[in-house]
Chains A and B, each alone.
Chain A
Amino acid sequence: MDYNIPKNLKYSPSHEWILIENEEGIIGITDYAQDQLGDIVYVEFPEVGEEFSNGESIAEIESVKAVEEFNIPVSGKIIEINDEINENPELVNESPYEKGWLARIKLANLSELENLLSSENYISQINKELED
């Protein structure tokens, strides 16, 4: 498998990642997810200040092929979105963990992090998906 799945991130089964810094998190989609979607041409973002429960759809990611919902991996409030994506949506394909991050959130409940996958567990999940 050629996908980049960094060890320092937590993952959701629906292919989102989160980087934790104190009680804030940066979220985005994984390398596997961007590859499955193909060329991303638009992201419909939520408003800063909106609050969501874990697993709720907060954005829509439009690729040439299809539209996919982006689910927030843990409950929280949007405190920043990545404006660069409006001008250059291809950053999500080119740099899904760095320049292509989608939003910064304030976590509502730190204990929800325990429900997320480690990089090892997420890799096992995508290996299974690739076999099916």
Chain B
Amino acid sequence: MNTSDLRKTPLNSRHKEIGAKMTEFGGWEMPVSYEGIISEHKYVRDVAGVFDISHMGEFLLEGEDVKTLLQTLMVNDLRLLEPSKGQYSCICYENGTVVDDCIYYEENPTTYRMIVNASNREKDFKWINSHIDNLEVTIKDLTSERSRLAFQGPKTDELLNPLTDIDVSDINRFYFRKCKLDGISIFIARTGYTGEKGFELSASKDNIEDIFNKLLDTEAKPIGLGARDSLRLEACYSLYGHEISDKITPIEANIGWVVKQKDDIDYIGKNILLKQKNEGTSRIIVGLTLKDPGIMRQNYKVFVDGKEIGYLTSGGYSPTLEKSIGLALIQSEYNELEKEVDIQIRKKMKKAEVVSTPFYQNV
């Protein structure tokens, strides 16, 4: 794809100005790294980093029946929500595989803000719209008129508080507030995709460069998609197209906690997902570390005694563990801790073992 065909966030030229290497992701031209993936990764673990996540989709759903609609689309249970709280969920097909994963925030019982994956935004918008039927719900795509940043790392509370008109330490995990950052209206939630403490925020596209610059004026550094991926892999957060997809269910992806019983509510995929949750699945995603030298990557095959038992859904180098880690979808009978498996890396077989997950977590 020619870069001129790619969508650009309002920060595109700013990224290039501060030395970003750019890459294509989900149809967008995004920064992959600024000073280097490993140093950016470590800086988020030690201090704080700012990520442009404006490529992600942002929808606003409003109306009397929004909660009813979402309860039929989501595998998680919206009765666990309350105003000012958000929830992670999967949207599934009838066969239990995944349309997308998302977070939605309850602004009030008739207004929800939803964040979806960049590459699935149009599909999600159509999917949600096609299930409105006679319900009183309107859905707006705010992706272009608003922009989004993640601010992640152990020092984020301390760095953010001098800029905001609220004490952000009062925001609990998965809760959000609307407040001012140096006079600019923002939506800010204590959520993230790194395994560190931190926030995700959304604001008008006209203000996002101001906010980006103000955050970079603190000790925080800009972080690209390269480190975003290595951070999420250490924390074992699923990535659409890798651990979850239209071929893999949330139970197989080992995020069964997100699938709720919801006794009196029918939701799409419920029958098969609850059956899988109760009875188990023939394949499951597990964590692997490579014991031999080398790097595991997506789609590498996993073997036991010469028999193929699965493949890597994600793999890479862990800057924290200083070795290669991965997530693999394997036959469930081989899912035992310390089980030794072989990974085919080009023409060679290398030893790996099943380990407990996540590889790292500090939220």
Residues of A within 8 A of B (CB): 38-39, 41-42, 44, 60, 62, 64-65, 67, 86
Tell me what chain B mostly uses at the interface: helix, strand, loop, or mixed: mixed
A38–B21 Cα distance when bound, in Å, is 10
Number of B interface residues at 8 Å Cβ cutoff, please give it.
Answer: 19
Shortest CB-to-CB span from A69 to chain B, Å, is 9
Residue of B nearest to A36 (CB): B21
Subset of 28 A-B contacts with CB under 8 Å: A38-B33, A38-B36, A38-B37, A38-B226, A39-B36, A39-B37, A39-B38, A39-B317, A41-B38, A41-B295, A42-B293, A42-B294, A42-B324, A44-B293, A44-B294, A44-B346, A60-B346, A62-B294, A62-B295, A64-B37, A64-B226, A64-B230, A64-B316, A64-B317, A65-B32, A65-B37, A65-B226, A86-B293
Q: Closest residue to B316 on the A side, CB-wise?
A: A64
Q: Cβ of A67 and Cβ of B297 under 8 Å apart?
A: yes
Contact with A along B217-238 (1 / 0, CB 8 A): 0000000001000100000000
Closest partner residue, chain B, to A60 (CB atom): B346
A62–B293 alpha-carbon span in the complex (Å): 11
| Chain A nearest CB, measured from B293 CB (Å) | 6
**Which residues of B lie under 8 Å from residue A42 when comparing CB positions?**
293-295, 317, 324
10 closest A-B pairs by CB: A62-B295, A64-B37, A39-B38, A41-B317, A64-B317, A39-B36, A39-B37, A42-B295, A38-B37, A65-B226
Do B295 and A67 have beta carbons less than 8 Å apart?
A: yes
Please pick, from B33, B38, B230, B317, the residue contacting A62 in the complex, using a CB distance under 8 A. B317
B134 to chain A, nearest CB (A): 49
Name the residue in B37, B295, B297 with the highest tally of chain A Cβ atoms < 10 Å from its Cβ: B295
Chain B residue numbers with a CB within 8 Å of A38 are 21, 33, 36-37, 226
Distance in Å: Cβ of B2 to nearest Cβ of chain A: 10
